[in-house]
A and B are shown apart, each in its own frame.
Chain A
Amino acid sequence: MLLRFSLNSMERVAFIIHFSFNKFHMANIAPAFQDKDSAIPIDKLEQGKCGLVVKVEADSDDAKRLMAMGVCMGRIIKLEQLGDPMILKVVGSKIGVSRRLGEKVSVTPCDEETCSKSGNR
């Protein structure tokens, strides 16, 4: 348990560093989501909530498969069901994704309105 917490905080630090380096880039992608500290791995999202993908860092082939199905930067994704594998909803379809791959997708949470507008209701 303790190990898990410390890992999580490590991850957070990593993200903060990452996003401060990519400030300019981030602003380009999503001007509406300036809160750079709020990026979290998708499995930390609340079930049923949406997030805007800001980064996918995974082995190239797996990442490509995921991205080709719509889990790529700039898309709004809904976490339909937590677990391992988890269910994501993106551009109108449901995708089952292993948690260890899902963890590599970082999102910034978005509000209900943005979520329902994204077609992921």
Chain B
Amino acid sequence: MTKVLQKDQANDRIGNVPVIAIAGNPNAGKTTLFNTLTGLRAKTSNFPGTTIECRTSRTKFGDEEVELLDLPGLYSLNDCSDEEKMAGDALQGRIEGREKPVGIILVADATNLERNLYLAGQILEMNLPVVVALTMMDLAAREKISIDTQALSRELGCPIVPIDGRAESGFKELREECMRMLKGEIDSTSMPERLQHACNCNSCPFKAHFDWTREVCDKHVQSKALSQIDRSFEIDRLLTHPAGGILAFATVMLSFFFMVFYIAQYPMGWIDGLFADAGSFVSQYLPQGDLNSLLVEGVIGGVGGMLIFLPQICILFFSLTLLEDTGYLARAAFVMDRLMRRVGLPGKAFVPMLSAHACAIPGIMATRGIEDKRDRLVTILVLPLLTCSARIPVYAMVCALLFPTRPMMAALTFTGAYALGGIVALIMAFVLRRSILPGETRPLVLELPSYKMPSIRNAFLMALDRAGIFVRRAGTVIMLVSILLWTASTYPKAAPPQEILEMLEKAKITKDDELVQKASRLESKHAFANSFAGRMGKAIEPVIEPLGFDWQIGVGVISSFAAREVIVSTLSIVYGIGENGGNEDSGSLYDALRASRRSDGSPVFTTATCISLLVFYVLAMQCLPTQVVTRRETGSWKWAALQFGYMTVLAYFAALATYQGLLLFT
């Protein structure tokens, strides 16, 4: 895997385009700067063999083409996190397939120069040409902080360009300095003399560097007014308060959920319509037969069923980036740390847990913000227990079956299913922490950046980037799985039994449409029972019988291994109401399901079976794309297998207990 990645990245650079790296503290305006310099062309990739992301993009400074490399946000280059290690390696050209940068753009926040200069000091020691981009100059001006940039430039021995992100001023000068850097006009061996002395004495290196930054700031920075942090004091009091903070968090998250689910339903409807149109278009212009069915049901149906979640993912990352830019997300992590640490999850895990309510895949991708490997593993392992959007059609189906005329009870059941997922996720985190991944969570060290206006542009680019990753990664897998599934439920073909053929003949003669439909339903049901999928359903029937499932539900369970929402359409096929039953005429699906009988004449979907099915779907790991992403993010199939194993066992026994328990009471 690592090798493939490396090869990919080696192919990224065609010829010898010089690389300029962008480094800076988190929240220093690095991403905004990178986006302004490059626009839409940025590409996100991982450092070889890691999940640490870096973004690269080609751009032109004057006539010369350059590759800009956006490093992860850093406080220092002390090797105390993987990010720092990778960034240090990248800057020194120690990463295979990556060129050593010809220079560095160091992004420093003008409103907090003293802290930002710490990293600057370490980067200046690397003896590479450096240009300092002093961001947030507008905020600094508002706070009456004045910086003598010329004197500072002399002190640091490198050019300094003040940048005003809002007015987009300073970028022309920055480009000019970069051009000079490419021509080799910026001296690289200009480590500040004072810093040199600081490194020579053998006291604490942190102290020496911070003494230096203090000294530099005392000389060149004048701050006349109270800093902005004081204005946010009262807001912070509330947002980080043990009780008030949680209340604020709940409010923010409620509106967040509302955004993701409410607004997304419109584009989701459009996408659904688009794929339905594409399906009927293809089925019209292709002759009836296997190819037609493969394209319409397998490819278009399968890919469409996944792409329908794209709007949710876009809106999720858009609003998440906005929230992060304002500085609120750090407060939320701070407040949540207090609660989540009790079950062994770090506070930072709440972002992934939130994202996983739309889809586990972006959730798992978002765990990259968690520094500690074991903290991250626990989070990844429990994330698929949270109710993702793919479970919603299943919940909706079961609730409608159980309470067709009592919407209040249906809503409560729905909420209960959500809560069950969340609670079991927390319990499992607790259990995992005390078994295979022991140890305390890493103590929280988290900067609470000052509040800022978020940038719509950054949020938009982020949403676009994540959408691209989602479509590429999961799209290819889902397509393959859909085709496999289609094959399993189509082959081997069986000739319809005599009675169905007779029925068809009769229907044709009498031109009875209802009878034609009934006959074709029976035909597809028969074909299904004989396919691989149908046989597998029958094979597992003894295992699932104690859960209250018959073989047809078994087929549904098997077919929804790859994507759980598939069970709705599978059940509509198995219980013989035609393939479109799940979408257009859901009333008839529920009627048919309610009317279905076992061989002994008792109804299949009793209350106990329904609730058992619901519990099973809340807890079972039925999403192949998630498994693939888990493997990618943990670097081993072992964790994906463990995730699958524990969730399946959990789902089985929970459903068993539910069904048998309910039988006792009814």
Contact = CB atoms under 8 A, between A and B. Distances in A.
Contacts of B114: 70, 91-92, 119
A74 B236 CA distance: 27
B81 A95 contact: no
B449 A93 contact: yes
A87 interface: yes
A100 B445 CA distance: 11
A42 interface: no
Contacts of B330: 96
A75 interface: yes
Nearest to A89: B229
B80 A65 contact: yes
Interface string B86-128: 0000000000000000000000000110110010000000000
A72 B206 contact: yes
A66 B450 CA distance: 18
Contacts of A81: 237, 240
Contact of A72 (B210, B240, B444): B210
A72 B443 contact: no
Given A65-B75, A74-B211, A85-B334, A94 B447 contact: yes
Contacts of A66: 445
Contact of A69 (B115, B229, B334, B442): B115
A17 B399 CA distance: 67
Contacts of B204: 67, 72-74
A10 B443 CA distance: 23
Given A65-B75, A95-B448, A74 B115 contact: no
Interface string A95-121: 111101100000000000000000101
Contacts of B230: 121
Interface in A41-80: 60-62, 64-70, 72-75
A37 B68 CA distance: 53
B227 interface: yes
B242 interface: yes
A110 to B, nearest CB: 15
Given A68-B118, A92-B115, A87 B443 contact: no
Contacts of A75: 207, 210
B338 interface: yes
B78 interface: yes
* Chain B interface size range: 35 or more
Given A62-B445, A65-B81, A68-B78, A94 B207 contact: no
Interface string B327-342: 0001001100110010
Contacts of A68: 75-76, 78, 80, 118, 206
B103 to A, nearest CB: 23
B229 to A, nearest CB: 7
A63 B81 CA distance: 12
B210 A91 contact: yes
A94 B239 CA distance: 14
A70 B115 contact: yes
Nearest to A65: B445
Contact of B445 (A74, A92, A101, A119): A101
B443 A100 contact: yes
Interface string B209-238: 011011000000001001101100000110
Contacts of B341: 98
A28 to B, nearest CB: 8
B446 interface: yes
Contact of A87 (B80, B213, B240): B240
B448 A67 contact: no
Contacts of B334: 85, 87, 96
A84 interface: yes
Given A73-B207, A74-B207, A81-B240, A62 B442 contact: yes
Contact of A85 (B115, B210, B337, B450): B337
Contacts of A91: 112, 114-115, 210, 213-214
Nearest to B204: A73
A121 B442 CA distance: 30
A43 B444 CA distance: 15
Given A68-B76, A74-B210, A95-B447, A121 B226 contact: yes
A93 B114 CA distance: 10
Central interface residue in B78, B347, B445, by most chain A CB within 10 Å: B445
Nearest to A68: B76
B210 A93 contact: no
A104 to B, nearest CB: 9
Given A84-B338, A87-B448, A92-B115, A72 B207 contact: yes
A98 B80 CA distance: 18
Central interface residue in A60, A65, A87, A93, by most chain B CB within 10 Å: A93
A98 B448 CA distance: 13
A37 B484 CA distance: 73
Nearest to A102: B443
Interface in B236-279: 236-237, 240, 242
Contacts of A64: 76, 78, 80
Interface of B: 75-76, 78, 80-81, 111-112, 114-115, 118, 204, 206-207, 210-211, 213-214, 223, 226-227, 229-230, 236-237, 240, 242, 330, 333-334, 337-338, 341, 347, 442-450
12 contacts: A61-B81, A62-B442, A64-B76, A64-B80, A91-B115, A91-B210, A92-B111, A92-B114, A94-B229, A94-B450, A96-B445, A119-B223
Interface of A: 29, 60-62, 64-70, 72-75, 81, 83-85, 87, 89-98, 100-101, 119, 121
Cβ-closest 7 pairs across A and B: A68-B76, A98-B443, A64-B80, A72-B206, A101-B443, A94-B448, A67-B206
Given A75-B207, A94-B449, A95-B448, 6 more contacts: A62-B445, A74-B211, A81-B240, A85-B337, A85-B338, A96-B444
